[in-house]
Structure 1
């Protein structure tokens, strides 16, 4: 990462920006693990519903044992990689972590779902798998409703976070507005996700004429227009 310097004063603004190759690498990682987390949640939901609704004791026991395999091997690395890669991308780009409402909301949702998955969902899966291992052959499998509710809630949360990542709604936070006003007061030319309406779509930088550039004379047609100002003459 490299310091973010003002294009007008050359002074460091205090933030660190990821280089372009690093930003792309972190973005690919973040998208990959986020999609994997959503897929994992859907798999756990399907297995939980299967275990709760099947009439076969063997199928129910197999569903909960399969959930334990996913929980033991995938929940912790995928959830932590999603959280860490998202924070790195936020802090290493102009989006920031607390400048835009959608980024701030997504951070807290990711943190909450990661904590719930690691500390609550995994323990529930372990308890269910241990319970079915104690059953005798042909004995009915108990109903574990929490292993249906938890994946359903997490899947809904991941779909919501996917939507706000694409739509980027709600504009700037109070901290983001102060950051933008401070940048304007210093005369910085900001690169990144800034629009005049505080939206999420990046806008091109404003071009400021260099000192000494003569202004066009009054009455002179605008460049690229023939036949006087305001009308273009067809070729």
Structure 2
């Protein structure tokens, strides 16, 4: 993919951050509704909480999850970060793919079932708690960018700089450090 031009990249970053934050907020809302439904003795409140969760899962979860996945993929492929050049991007991609799949193929059917039955379900507390943790983790690694480049990323960097892998510069020879 060709590198994105600055205006397109900036617009895509705004879209990606907005939908990612929306997914985190939606997950927190589902967690609050799940805790309410599971923790109350009032059957009508349980039923209402699950119906509200169903509205969110039917109308908001699919477009937000898919837009987050696609915008992140486009950013990875259209910027120097790349998809498999840095560990944090690679991990974030796979976590986003896994949480998108879990949202669409496991959480949504479970919410639909709970809304139809109206019986407290602990999995509708656990699932939003896990997804919220995953989104917070992905937010943290997006900001901190830990772990450095992947093996592929190191090879690409070295080939772009015209160096042999692990070759030391004159300044690095005295310290035993390698240039990457």
TM-score, scaled relative to structure 1: 0.69
Given candidates 124, 127, 150, the residue that maps to 2:127 is 150
Show the 5 A alignment for 1:1-235.
16-132=2-118, 142-185=119-162
What is aligned with 2:172?
none
Cα distance, 1:125 vs. partner?
A: 0.3
Runs of 4+ in 1 over 4 A off after TM superposition: none
Cα distance, 1:58 vs. partner?
A: 1.2
Segments of structure 1 that go 5 or more residues without pairing to the other structure are 1-14, 133-141, 187-195, 199-235
Name the SS for the 1:66 alignment partner: helix
Higher strand share: 1
Higher helix share: 2
Tell me how large the CA RMSD over aligned residues is.
1.4
Name the SS for the 2:2 alignment partner: strand
TM-score, scaled relative to structure 2: 0.89
The alignment covers a number of residue pairs equal to 166
Q: 1:206-227: CA deviations, max 9, x gaps? A: xxxxxxxxxxxxxxxxxxxxxx
Q: 1:13-34: CA deviations, max 9, x gaps? A: xx51000000011000000000
**If you compute each CA radius of gyration, which structure gives the higher value, 1 or 2?**
1
Cα distance, 1:143 vs. partner?
A: 2.2
Gap change, CA 1:130 and 1:170, over 3 Å in 2: same
What is aligned with 2:175?
none
Q: Is the 8 A contact 2:114 2:120 kept in 1?
A: no
For residues 55 and 120 of structure 1, what CA distance do their matches in structure 2 show? 26
